[in-house]
Every structure is written in C-alpha cells, then in structure tokens.
Amino acid sequence: MSALPDEALYAFSVFSQLRDHGRLKDCFPKPEEFKQITNNTRLSSMMERKSQCLSFLESRCRNSTVRVIKTIRMSLHLCKDLSKTIENMKILHLVRDPRASVYSRRNLGLDFSNSLVKILCNRMSHDIDEGQLIGSYFPGRFYSLRYECLARNPETVLKKLYSDMSLEYDSETEKWMQLYMKSQNRGQNGYQVFKSNSSSRSTNWRLRIPYIDTLNIDSLCKDVYTKIGARSFNSAMELENLGMSDMYVTPYTERYCK
C-alpha cells in the first residue's frame, strides 16, 4: 500500500458509505492540497498523514476476518486459477442490464459507439460462460447477482448474500441498507454507490434512454439478454411504462432473483 500515490489513497475518503469514513476523511489530504504544495513543510505534513492512513488501513485489513476486493477489469477466466490457489475465496459476479450500463456510460459523456456496445456484451457473455464453469468446478464458492434484483429487493437479497458469504447480517448492516438503499434523499456527492432509493434508480434509465438506442443494444446483446433475462420492448411506450417488467429469471440469476 505504501506504493500508492496520495491521489489513489484519497479516493477512499470520498465514499461516505465506508465504515470509519470520518477517520479517513480527516486523515487524507484534501483535494486542494494536491494543487498547493509550495514548500517542503507542507509536503512533509502530507506524507505524515499518508503514513498514518496506511498504518490505519493495513491494521484494519490484517485484523479483518473477511477481505473484499471489487474489480471491474478482471476476466472471470483468470478467477478459475485463483480459485485453485486461494481455497477459501468466494466470487460474486455482478451483472447489469446492458441498456442501463450503456446509458450510464453515455450519460457520463463517454463515446459509447455500437462497436463498443458489442465489445461490452461479448465480454459479458464470455464472463457468464466462465462463471458457469467456475460454479461447476467449485460448488458453493461462485455466485452470480443481477444488480436490478439487489436494487429492488435489497433486504431480502443482502440477507441471502451474507449467508452465502458466511457473514453476519447485523444491525449495522441493516442500518447501512436502510440509509443508502431505501432512503428517499439523494446523496450530496457523486460517488455514492446508491443514490436515494435504489429501486427507482434501477429503472430511471428507461425514462431517459432514446428508444432507438435500445433497439441497437437489443440487436447487439441478444446473447446476454437470454443469459441474464433482459426483456426487449416493442415501442417507446412500453419502454417508459415502468409497470412492464424489464427482466425475467434465468438459471444464471435465479439465486438472488427468485
């Protein structure tokens, strides 16, 4: 961890959902300090704070009975070998409706052309195939979760998920869930994992994405739709009618979507 730059370490402090967030927020340099290093004294002060944070984070990590790593860039193909090496490792594969993913990325100003949509869905499809293999090789150590099922039924899904991971669903977890997944109040920063009510957030894309875009994604992601249970819409009216379900349960999603 000592090799991480201050900017990377600081990123932890903007996620207010983290336990000990107050400690991290006070410990890490403020954003403006990165731009105002004018003398050695200020730099020394920043490095001292970095050292304190490293010591704190390493201590919490080493003393924890469970360590969680979130990654969006690792292919599930690589996890097969890791599962052989780390015998008590469990994998949770999170998947989301490609239409929501594409809308979210385009909404951030990213140029997400049809060719990139195809790459995204090809990778999703390949990862799902790899996930099914891992699940057959290592029973009880691989789970697949559809984001929409978690967002729309957080309490039920989290309790089952915690049980699968051999974790206790305690009062602190319940408090976190109520605050960040069921609250009607939107967070104050752009780094929230869930903003306001997670159920409504999981369908907001349907009211904003152009219908023509969904048709393009439909044609490029048919394989993924079948594997995760994403429904296509026959008109813009159907798309915007939130009373019509946009999903159905498949073998890959049934664990947490029943």
Q: Which pLDDT tens digit goes with each residue over 70-112?
A: 888 788 988 988 999 999 999 999 999 999 999 998 888 877 7
Category of 93 on φ-ψ map: left (φ > 0), alpha (ψ -120 to 50) or beta: beta
Task: Give rounded-to-5 percent helix, strand, coil for the chain.
Answer: 60, 5, 35
Helix, strand, or coil here: 208?
Answer: coil
Return the pLDDT at 12.
53
Return the pLDDT at 43.
55
Per-domain boundaries in the chain = 6-63, 76-240
Return the pLDDT at 18.
53
The CA distance from 208 to 77, in Å, is 34
Q: Which pLDDT tens digit goes with each residue over 115-140?
A: 999 999 999 999 999 999 999 999 99
Q: What is the mean pLDDT of residues 11-19?
A: 52
Q: What pTM was estimated for this model as a whole?
A: 0.78
Q: Decide: 179 and 4 in contact? Cβ < 8 Å.
A: no
Q: According to the CATH classification, is domain 76-240 in 3.40.50.300?
A: yes
Q: Which pLDDT tens digit goes with each residue over 146-196?
A: 999 999 999 999 999 999 999 999 998 898 888 877 765 544 444 444 445
Q: Decide: 195 and 186 in contact? Cβ < 8 Å.
A: yes
pLDDT at 38 over 80: no
pLDDT at 57 over 80: no
Number of Cβ atoms within 10 Å of the Cβ of 101:
20
* Greater pLDDT, 19 or 76: 76
Return the pLDDT at 11.
53
Token pair for residue 48? 């001292």
* Greater pLDDT, 167 or 24: 167
Maximum CA pair distance of the chain? Answer: 64
Q: What is the mean pLDDT of residues 26-45?
A: 57
Q: Which pLDDT tens digit goes with each residue over 205-258?
A: 999 999 999 999 999 999 999 999 999 999 999 999 999 999 999 999 999 998
